[in-house]
Amino acid sequence: MCACRCGIRVHLQGDKVRYIEGNPDHPINRGVLCAKGSAGIMQHTSPARLHKPLLRVGERGAGEFREIEWDEALATAADWLGEVRRTDPKKLAFFTGRDQSQSLTGWWAKQFGTLNYAAHGGFCSVNMAAAGLYTIGGSFWEFGEPDWEHTRYLMLFGVAEDHDSNPIKMGLGRLKTRGNAKFVSINPTRTGYSAIADEWIGIRPGTDGLFVAALIHELLRAEQIDWDYLARYTNAHWLVIQVPGEAQNGRIARSAEGEPLCFDGAKQAVRRASDTDAAPRLVGACELPNGRRAVPAFQLMAARFLSHEYAPDTVAAATGIPAAQIRRIAAEIANAAFRQTVELPVPWTDTAGRRHDTMVGRPVAMHAMRGISAHSNGFHTCRMIHLLQMLLGAIDVPGGFRFKPPFPRPCPPGPKPSGHTVAPDTPLDGMPLGFPTGPEDLLVDSDGTPKRIDKAFSWEYPLAAHGMMQMVIHNAWAGDPYPIDVLFLYMANMGWNSSMNVPETLRYLTDKRADGSYRIPRIIYSDAYSSETVAYADLVLPDTTYLERWDCISLLDRPICSAEGPADSIRQPVVKPDRDVRPFQDVLIDLGARLRLPGFAKDDGAAVFPGGYADYMVNHERAPGIGPLAGWRGDGDSHGRGAPNPDQLQRYIDNGGFWQHHLPAEQTYFKHANRAYLEYAQKMGWIPNAEPIVMQLYSEPLQKFRLAAQGHGEVQPPEALRQRIEHAFDPLPIWYPPFEEAAFAGEDFPLHAVTQRPMHMYHSWGGQNAWLRQITARNRLFVHVDTAARLGLADDDWAWIVSPHGRVKAQIKRLHGVNPDTVWTWNAIGKRRGTWSLDTDAPEATKGFLLNHIISELLPARADGHRYANADPVTGQAAWYDLRVRLEKCVSSEAGGTAPQFASVPPVTAQPPAPSVLRYGAAFDRRSTGVGTEDHLEWVGNRREYAASDSGVRPGHGNRTDKPAKGSVP
Ligand code: SF4
């Protein structure tokens, strides 16, 4: 149901879902289930489910559709898409939301031939992912996890309760039960995990970089850093060329063979940085063989962070954290790292062939998420957190942060983005998304004009590794850089809570040219529910719910591995749809065949995967022997690589829906330099070779962009962008004020405004779930008690939240657990009237609200009138949390309901009316049915059939019988 991707078991009674429990064997959640997971029955039976394909007959936004059959729906889509592919494939913009099938959708876009593809990462957490992948070859969440068993000091930065939800809950439970570790949460709001932190640091939003910089300052000042770790595993000792004004300035000094160089203090000579017998110096200038001056990267870093700019006393006011507290935290970190060292009796061998008898670690672990990421300075803040980890020697060591396979990967991992050439009826030469390593990899024309509709990989957002979904609708409307013909969206509520500036977004979707045609000519949308976006589509392809389709959580996508080993999983349908809906992945594969896309259709036009997504999951090979699922390949005995195995899905089913490989103990830490692990990773196809992965304290790819901005190289930015690039592409982490704050701070907008995800909701999808709505059906604005007193606000008062871009009316709730300069609310609770099959006077519509309405997707105009996206200048990450506001108490006549209110959307044509009272489960009542005894229940969640001797109830494993499984198998 959400990006946590826990394993569940589904119990049926007859053909109805009776009960959902956590799968106790599943590597992600080990049986733990959150409120959302428990309430999945209501997600599955929601009255808001779409029932049939729809073709718009009224005006966009009016919600007037004609029900059509799938033949017509697919023929229409294929007709629209086929015309685009035959003429100019980039005129298709295909953007998907928080689905789990991005390796399929990305490959489909590649085969279609459009570069205009991305999933939702650009508006979520690309800063976190990109900064990690360019710095340490991994990142948090799917890429790595705290060493819950051994850490002595855990720092959570900007983490709400949703991403990686159950593993963090379990981990915190273990950590706090152990009683020998401290948990510090750095977050403007004290909700969720922060509520059980041993110390909550209510930082001012957007200043985490300053706080981390001050910690680094203190650790450097006290020399509480791991010199050995830095020299062995990072590029701290790599020599950086110092020739100001020249094209090589700031580049890494390399040998003729391209090997990075260091200065050996013992031999007093320049040597290869990878020479294991060298004694590399981390400070001190030297002369290179060509006469140029160079200094180690560490020296440049130390000079920056030892400066007064990042001293605790300097940053205290901006962060809202007293200098003494910063110093104390730094001392606690140093104490945990260097005086509570963890040593595991596990021998291992590094890539240089050195045998280590034990694994020694610095037990300080960190995890960061969207609160860090969703700022216009987020990329560098994320890099700074990784720098702190490197200095402590706390990456992939006992007690520290641990990589999850298939990470670490080289920094950056590659491949580069494709789309330099787009031609009719021609696939791209690679995947649309990737990792640029220099200006030559940007997708821009010779004059610097972006090639992508969202402007990802342009000079404005060069490392937009996840695309910029948040800009697609605006740019498509504006025809900037060019108009498109078809906007194809899946599972992203872009007409509401997934967009900044909702009022204008709705205008973009409905705006027409002088000739009466829509500026965005055609919109295809797939969703399972009657969300706010449905009314704006021309063609609606209704998806199934999550219990009605096959799916896979693939190593090619965003896998479910743990630091202990790789894993992937499947989802299998347990009930048959009772509506005329189809899994989106099946539909996409069908469309691929109809469009005769290579890989989807054979030469004679026959479908390559007539069995839909399940067929693809088993038989698709991205590279020889490598497919979506890693387990039980070939004859069933191999994993990772191997021929397609027709029994593969059954093997997953037999194993509870997942595959997992446990790494031998010698491979479980130091993966970046662990010979046995890296050889295994190469064999699995995760990395190109078994060379050590050197963490990049100093980033040469960033310096390449900076040099281009300074006038060097073949590919240079347009004049107006030089200064922005030069500033943002600092090869060392920096902090600068978030852009909105720089533009609008002060008396007019003195407060920050942020959202938090409720742990019982996921995006907007929980808002139509009858059980979850009983927990939260409306939201208030939370204000610190002192701030509220100053503004004359009391609980339940109504107030206008005014930003530079508009105002929203909400009801106030005071609390202590928030930074006094910050107000916050729950994300995505507010709904538009008439949607999600809710009553028009549902509290979600009358008392719920979104901050999205007052967040601009664009920054204020530059001197020449140009407006950048409200985003990080390195990655294009949407800067949701840069919002600045003031509060104005409503007069009494304004109290009583949220504003703005949008026109009610009529119920989707032919959608069965929602019952006024839901009576789910009445049929299960023994008194009315006479059944419901134990042997009436069937466990079909993993499709195993049990022998009579194995029937009965096993604690924690649900009711199992020897009856054959029922429910649907497609
Ligand atoms: S965290 Fe997400 S995947 Fe896990 S049980 Fe809850 S809804 Fe399901």
In short, whether 885's Cβ falls inside 6 Å of ligand 1 is no
Strand pairing category for 551-553 and 567-571: antiparallel
| pLDDT at residue 849 is higher than 60 | yes
In short, whether 801's Cβ falls inside 6 Å of ligand 1 is no
Distance 29 CA to ligand 1 centre (A): 8
Of 36, 100, 546, 771, which is best to mutate to test ligand 1, by the most ligand atoms within 8 angstroms of its C-beta?
A: 36
pLDDT tens-place string over residues 198-212: 999 999 999 999 999
Q: In terms of C-beta density within 10 A (0-12 exposed, 13-18 middle, 19 or more buried), how is residue 451 classed?
A: buried
Distance 164 CA to ligand 1 centre (A): 9
In short, whether 7's Cβ falls inside 6 Å of ligand 1 is no
Distance 165 CA to ligand 1 centre (A): 7
In short, whether 36's Cβ falls inside 6 Å of ligand 1 is yes
In short, whether 1's Cβ falls inside 6 Å of ligand 1 is yes
**What pLDDT, on a 0 to 100 scale, did the predictor assign at position 436?**
98
| pLDDT at residue 945 is higher than 50 | no
If one counts every other C-beta atom within 10 angstroms of the C-beta of residue 73, the result is 23
| pLDDT at residue 60 is higher than 90 | yes
- pLDDT confidence tier of residue 928, bands split at 50, 70 and 90: low
* CA separation for the pair 143, 401 (Å, rounded): 10
- The ligand 1 atom nearest the CA atom of 28: 4
In short, whether 593's Cβ falls inside 6 Å of ligand 1 is no
| pLDDT at residue 950 is higher than 90 | no
DSSP 845: H
**What pLDDT, on a 0 to 100 scale, did the predictor assign at position 880?**
97
Distance 228 CA to ligand 1 centre (A): 41
**What pLDDT, on a 0 to 100 scale, did the predictor assign at position 234?**
98
In short, whether 560's Cβ falls inside 6 Å of ligand 1 is no
- Going by alpha carbons, the residue nearest to atom 8 of ligand 1 is 37
- Going by alpha carbons, the residue nearest to atom 4 of ligand 1 is 6
For the chain, the average pLDDT equals: 93
Of the candidates 455, 421, 458, the one whose C-alpha atom is nearest the C-alpha of residue 436 is 458
pLDDT tens-place string over residues 477-507: 999 999 999 999 998 999 999 999 999 999 9
**What pLDDT, on a 0 to 100 scale, did the predictor assign at position 933?**
45
Distance 141 CA to ligand 1 centre (A): 15
| C-alpha pair distances (Å), 497 with each of 205, 307, 329, 828 | 21, 42, 37, 6
Distance 193 CA to ligand 1 centre (A): 16
The gap from C-alpha 316 to its chain's centroid, in whole angstroms, comes to 31
Distance 462 CA to ligand 1 centre (A): 34
In short, whether 299's Cβ falls inside 6 Å of ligand 1 is no
In short, whether 6's Cβ falls inside 6 Å of ligand 1 is yes
* CA separation for the pair 472, 494 (Å, rounded): 10
Contact call for residues 49 and 579 (beta carbons, < 8 A)? yes
- pLDDT confidence tier of residue 935, bands split at 50, 70 and 90: very low
Of 2, 98, 772, which is best to mutate to test ligand 1, by the most ligand atoms within 8 angstroms of its C-beta?
A: 2
Distance 166 CA to ligand 1 centre (A): 7
- pLDDT confidence tier of residue 746, bands split at 50, 70 and 90: confident
* pLDDT cut 90: percent of the chain above it: 88
pLDDT tens-place string over residues 713-723: 999 999 999 99
Average pLDDT over residues 542-553: 96
- The ligand 1 atom nearest the CA atom of 2: 2
**What pLDDT, on a 0 to 100 scale, did the predictor assign at position 961?**
34
Distance 327 CA to ligand 1 centre (A): 38
In short, whether 39's Cβ falls inside 6 Å of ligand 1 is no
Distance 812 CA to ligand 1 centre (A): 30
In short, whether 100's Cβ falls inside 6 Å of ligand 1 is no
Which residues neighbour 401 within 8 Å (Cβ) at sequence distance 6 or greater? 140, 144, 145, 146, 147, 365, 366, 367, 389, 394, 395
> Hey, which residues does 19 pair with through a beta bridge?
11
**What pLDDT, on a 0 to 100 scale, did the predictor assign at position 547?**
96
Of 32, 34, 759, which is best to mutate to test ligand 1, by the most ligand atoms within 8 angstroms of its C-beta?
A: 34
* CA separation for the pair 844, 402 (Å, rounded): 40
In short, whether 165's Cβ falls inside 6 Å of ligand 1 is yes
Distance 4 CA to ligand 1 centre (A): 6
Q: At what angle do helices 208-221 and 297-305 cross, to 10 degrees?
A: 110
Place of tokens 């291992």: 348
Secondary structure class of 226 (helix, strand, coil) = coil
The gap from C-alpha 48 to its chain's centroid, in whole angstroms, comes to 26
| Exposure string for 199-218, b = 16+ CB within 10 A, e = fewer | ebbbbbbbbbbbbbbbbbbb
Average pLDDT over residues 446-473: 97
Average pLDDT over residues 35-56: 94
Contact call for residues 134 and 435 (beta carbons, < 8 A)? yes
**What pLDDT, on a 0 to 100 scale, did the predictor assign at position 969?**
29
Strand pairing category for 522-527 and 486-490: parallel
**What pLDDT, on a 0 to 100 scale, did the predictor assign at position 906?**
84
Strand pairing category for 54-56 and 539-542: antiparallel
pLDDT tens-place string over residues 679-691: 999 999 999 999 9
- pLDDT confidence tier of residue 967, bands split at 50, 70 and 90: very low
**What pLDDT, on a 0 to 100 scale, did the predictor assign at position 910?**
67
Distance 44 CA to ligand 1 centre (A): 14
**What pLDDT, on a 0 to 100 scale, did the predictor assign at position 964?**
34
User: Which residue did the predictor score with more confidence, 922 or 182?
Assistant: 182
Contact call for residues 213 and 384 (beta carbons, < 8 A)? yes
Q: Phi-psi region for residue 823, left (φ > 0), alpha (ψ -120 to 50) or beta?
A: beta
In short, whether 547's Cβ falls inside 6 Å of ligand 1 is no
In short, whether 3's Cβ falls inside 6 Å of ligand 1 is no
Phi and psi at 164, nearest 5°, equal: 55, 40
Q: How many residues comprise the chain?
A: 970
**What pLDDT, on a 0 to 100 scale, did the predictor assign at position 927?**
61
Secondary structure class of 37 (helix, strand, coil) = helix
- The ligand 1 atom nearest the CA atom of 29: 4
* CA separation for the pair 634, 776 (Å, rounded): 48
Of the candidates 106, 119, 113, 55, the one whose C-alpha atom is nearest the C-alpha of residue 86 is 113
Average pLDDT over residues 408-416: 95
Secondary structure class of 480 (helix, strand, coil) = coil
- The ligand 1 atom nearest the CA atom of 5: 3
CA atoms within 13 A on the CB side of 723: 2
Distance 937 CA to ligand 1 centre (A): 23
* pLDDT cut 70: percent of the chain above it: 95
Of the candidates 40, 16, 54, the one whose C-alpha atom is nearest the C-alpha of residue 580 is 54
pLDDT tens-place string over residues 246-263: 999 999 999 999 999 999
| C-alpha pair distances (Å), 293 with each of 263, 286, 288, 305, 660 | 12, 6, 6, 22, 50
| pLDDT at residue 911 is higher than 80 | no
pLDDT tens-place string over residues 757-801: 888 888 888 888 999 999 999 999 999 999 999 999 999 999 999
In short, whether 166's Cβ falls inside 6 Å of ligand 1 is yes
Of 6, 9, 142, 762, which is best to mutate to test ligand 1, by the most ligand atoms within 8 angstroms of its C-beta?
A: 6
The gap from C-alpha 746 to its chain's centroid, in whole angstroms, comes to 32
In short, whether 384's Cβ falls inside 6 Å of ligand 1 is no
Distance 819 CA to ligand 1 centre (A): 29
Of 21, 33, 763, 775, which is best to mutate to test ligand 1, by the most ligand atoms within 8 angstroms of its C-beta?
A: 33
In short, whether 29's Cβ falls inside 6 Å of ligand 1 is yes
Distance between terminal CA atoms of the chain? Answer: 21
Distance 123 CA to ligand 1 centre (A): 21
Q: In terms of C-beta density within 10 A (0-12 exposed, 13-18 middle, 19 or more buried), how is residue 927 classed?
A: exposed
Contact call for residues 211 and 321 (beta carbons, < 8 A)? yes
Distance 221 CA to ligand 1 centre (A): 44
**What pLDDT, on a 0 to 100 scale, did the predictor assign at position 930?**
52
pLDDT tens-place string over residues 342-379: 999 999 999 999 999 999 999 999 999 999 999 999 99
| pLDDT at residue 948 is higher than 60 | no
| pLDDT at residue 932 is higher than 80 | no
If one counts every other C-beta atom within 10 angstroms of the C-beta of residue 308, the result is 8
| Exposure string for 538-560, b = 16+ CB within 10 A, e = fewer | bbbbbbbbbbbbbbbbbbbbbbb
| C-alpha pair distances (Å), 625 with each of 21, 244, 505, 677 | 35, 49, 44, 20
